[in-house]
Amino acid sequence: MKKIFTIAIVTLIAGTSFAQKGSILVYGNASLSSSKDAAKNKTSVSQLMPGIGYQFDKNWTAGLAFDLMSSKSKTDAGTEYAKSSNFAVGPFVRYTKTLSSTFSVFGQFDAMFGSAKSGVTVETKTNTLNLGITPAVSVSVSKKMAMNFSFGGLNYATSKVDASGANTETDLNLTFGKTMNIGVQWTF
């Protein structure tokens, strides 16, 4: 995983050092959730999804996105019965259309490559690939800062447990209207 992270940073620096004059976009979403099922088992999930990119012109941005997630589940008695962590990194491309000095809409394509670990007594490692398209609305708060709102997207994911003979699992999700994300972005 350290190799993937190092390659991603080097790629970003190399890509931006030869780019046209423009600006740097830094954005991120963070989420925390907690839920209880009918048996009073509790699950807590935290996720941080930052990104950094180079704005080639007023419409196109390209860069790297990251996804860091952690979850824990406990029984009603407080016994931990599951936990997992996930790290993913990959390129993104964003096309933005400015509607007014306050509002913009954008579509972002992400290709995230990652690794997940899960288990309490026995740890399982899983390799993942996640491709996603997310439409969003951006509302300018100041000249350099904006709030981003998205309401789902289209996502294709594959995962394979890191063990011989394991099968690859695939998943296709259309989540328009089923999820909501709020994020912040800065332009430098």
Indicate the residue type of 125. K
Q: What is the pLDDT of residue 1?
A: 45
Q: What is the pLDDT of residue 148?
A: 93
Query: Could you give the angle at the alpha carbon of 87 between the alpha carbons of 81 and 92, nearest 5°?
Result: 140
Q: What is the pLDDT of residue 164?
A: 84
Q: Find, among 17, 134, 19, the residue nearest to 67 by Cα.
A: 134
The segments of the chain whose pLDDT lies below 50 read: 1-21
Q: What is the pLDDT of residue 5?
A: 42
Structural domains in the chain?
Answer: 2-187 (2.40.160.20)
Structure tokens that stand for 98 in this block: 């400015």
Structure tokens that stand for 119 in this block: 């288990």
Q: What is the pLDDT of residue 8?
A: 41
- 22 secondary structure, DSSP code: -
User: Residue 165 — left, alpha, or beta (φ > 0 → left; ψ -120 to 50 → alpha)?
Assistant: left
Separation of alpha carbons 153 and 131, rounded Å: 11
- 56 secondary structure, DSSP code: -
Q: Which residues have a Cβ under 8 Å from the Cβ of 161 and sit 6 or more positions away?
A: 124, 125, 126
Evaluate whether 62 touches 93 at the Cβ level (below 8 Å). yes
